[in-house]
Structure 1
C-alpha cells in the first residue's frame, strides 16, 4: 500500500501499542477503521452511562433512599468498565485482523447487556416508587 507505515516501508515509524502493530501483516485499512469505529461507539456508550449517573445524581440528589447513590455508582462503574472493555476488545480485534484469525467472541457485550438491564430495572423501580 503506497505511503503505508509498514515496517519495511522507508520512513516507517513505530506505532503504539507495539503488541498490536508489531504482529501479523498490515490489513486492509477499512477493517482497522471499522474496528476503530466500534471502539468509539463503546466509548460513546460509556460516556452516556456516566452522563446518566450525573443526571440521576442531579435530579435525585435529595432523595433519601440509599438505592439512588448505589445506582449512581453503578452507572459510573459501568461507564468505566465499558471504557476498559472498549480498549481490550479493540486490541484483541485488531490483533486478530492483522493475524488473519477469527475475531473474538462477544462475551463482554453479553455481560454488559445483563449489567445494564439490572441497573435500568433498578432505576425504573426507583422512578416508579417515588412518592
Structure 2
C-alpha cells in the first residue's frame, strides 16, 4: 500500500496535465469491511488478516486521494479483479484478462464517478 501511495504521489504532477486525470487502485473484495462482517458473504470466513488489512488500507488510500483531488475533476477509484489464476493464487481462479476489464473501464472513463470500489458487477460496499 505504501508503494501505491509513493507511486501515485510521483505520478500526480504528470497526470495533472491530462484533461481527464484518473487513478485506479487494484484492491480486493477481501478488504471490504462490509463483506468481512457479513455472514452471507463468501469472504466472511476468509482468514489472512494482514492481506485483508492491506486491501482495506488500499481502499482508504483511494478514498483519501478521491476526496483530495475531487475539486480538480480527477476520477480516483479502486477495483477488485476477483480471484484470478496467477502465481499468487497457484493457478486457482479465472482468466486474469477477465479481472482486468473493470480496471481498464475505470482507467478509460467507461465507468464514471470517483471514490468507488468496483468489480465487474458494479460498485460494491467497502
TM-score (norm 2): 0.34
Q: Which has the larger radius of gyration?
A: 1
* Larger helix fraction of residues: 1
